[in-house]
Structure 1
Amino acid sequence: MPNQIVDKSFFFAQRSLDFYLHLKSKGHFRLADQFVGASTSIGANVEEAQAAHSKADFIAKIIIAAKEARETKYWLKLLDRKEFIENEEEFTFLKNEIEELIKILNSIVISSRKNLKK
C-alpha cells in the first residue's frame, strides 16, 4: 500500500540531490551541504517514523521531519537568486513541493496527537 508522505519525501530528496549537485558544480559547497542535509533529512525521518516503537515516537520523528522541512524552506528562500538557479522549473517544483510537505507533515502531527489522546 503506497504511503503518500513516504513517497513524496523520498521523491523530494531525489530532486533535491539534483539541485545539490548543481550548487556544488558552481562552487557553492557550504550552501549545497546545508541544503542537502536538511532536504534529505525530511524523508529519512519520515522513514524512521514508519518503524516507530510507539505513537509518541512516531510523532517525535514526524515533528523532526517537519522542522527539517521548514529549514529546507529557509534554504530555498535564500537560494532563490539567479546565480544559484539553473533550471527555473525545477526550482519552482522544489519551492512548491516543500510547502506541500510542510502542510502534510503538520497535518500528520495534529491528527496523530489527537489520536494519541483517545
Structure 2
Amino acid sequence: MNSILQDKSYTFAIQIVKLAQSLQKEQKEFVISNQVLRSGTSIGALIREAEFAQSHADYINKFYISLKEANETSYWPNLLKDTGYIDKNNLTNLEKENKELIAMLVATVKTLKSKE
C-alpha cells in the first residue's frame, strides 16, 4: 500500500512531466524544463527507493535527498516565471504542492532522525 507521501510525490511528478512537455512543445525551452523534470520527478523516485534501503541510515538519507530535490524543484518554476516562460497562474498550484511535499518530507526526516 502506498503512503500519502508516495501518492502526493507521484501526483506531483505527473504535474512536473506535463509542465516539461508543455515547455518543450510550446516554448521550445529545453534546458530549464529538463532541470525541473529531473528534480521534480526524483522526489518520488527517492521515496520509492527508500523502500529497499540497506540500513536505517540509508533509509533516512533517501528521504533527506528527496527533501533536497523538492527544495531545488521550487527554484526552477520561479525562474521560469521570472524569465517569462510561464505565468503566475500556472505556478500557483505547483508551488502549493511542492511546499506541502517539503513540509511532509521535513516532518518525515525529523521523525526518522529522532528514532536513531
TM-score (norm 2): 0.91
Q: Which runs of 4+ in 1 moved over 3 A?
A: none
- Give the Cα separation in 2 of the matches to 1:82 and 1:34: 15
**Does 1:43 pair with 2:44?**
yes
Structure 2 equivalent of residue 30 of structure 1 = 31
- Give the Cα separation in 2 of the matches to 1:50 and 1:4: 14
Structure 2 equivalent of residue 57 of structure 1 = 58
Structure 2 equivalent of residue 69 of structure 1 = 70
Distance 1:81 1:22, change over 3 A: farther
The offset of 1:92, in angstroms, is 1.4
The offset of 1:54, in angstroms, is 1.8
Aligned pair count reads 115
What is the percent sequence identity of the aligned residues?
36
TM-score (norm 1): 0.89
Deviation larger for 107-116 or 50-59: 50-59
Q: Deviations over 1:17-49 (max 9, x none)?
A: 110011111111101111100000101101001
The offset of 1:105, in angstroms, is 0.5
Amino acid at match of 1:11: T
The offset of 1:51, in angstroms, is 1.7
Contact kept in structure 1, 2:81 and 2:87, CA below 8 Å: no
Unpaired runs of at least 5, structure 1: none
- Give the Cα separation in 1 of the matches to 2:2 and 2:21: 29
Supply the RMSD in Å over aligned alpha carbons: 1.6
